[in-house]
Structure 1
Amino acid sequence: MDAVLEVENSEVPGIAVQCDLLLPNGHLQRNYEFDITDIGLRRRLVRRFYGILIVGYLSFTFNLKSNLVNPILQLQVACTLPCLELFLKYPLPYNFVVPLSMVLTVFLYTCFYIWRDWRRHGPFNYFVLLLSTLMGSFNRSVYLLNLVETHWVYIYPGILIFEILGLMLYSSQERFRFTQIRGISIICLIFGLFLLLAYRLNRMMEVFSAMACTVEAWYIIYDTHYMLCGRHGYNIGPEEFVYAACNIHCDLPKGMWRLMKMLFFSKIVEAVRMFRECFRTEVC
Structure 2
Amino acid sequence: MMGLVFVLIIVLSCCENVRRKVPLNFIFLGLFTIVEGFMLGSVTVFYEAEAVLWAIGATALVSFALSVFAMQSKWDFTAASGAMWAIGWTLISFGLLCAILRTQYLYIVYASLGTLVFSIYLVMDTQLMLGGKHKYSISPEEYIFAALNLYLDIITLFLLLLQLIGFCR
Normalising by structure 2, we get a TM-score of: 0.49
Task: Using CA pairs under 8 Å that are at least 6 residues apart, name the structure with larger relative contact order, 1 or 2.
Answer: 2
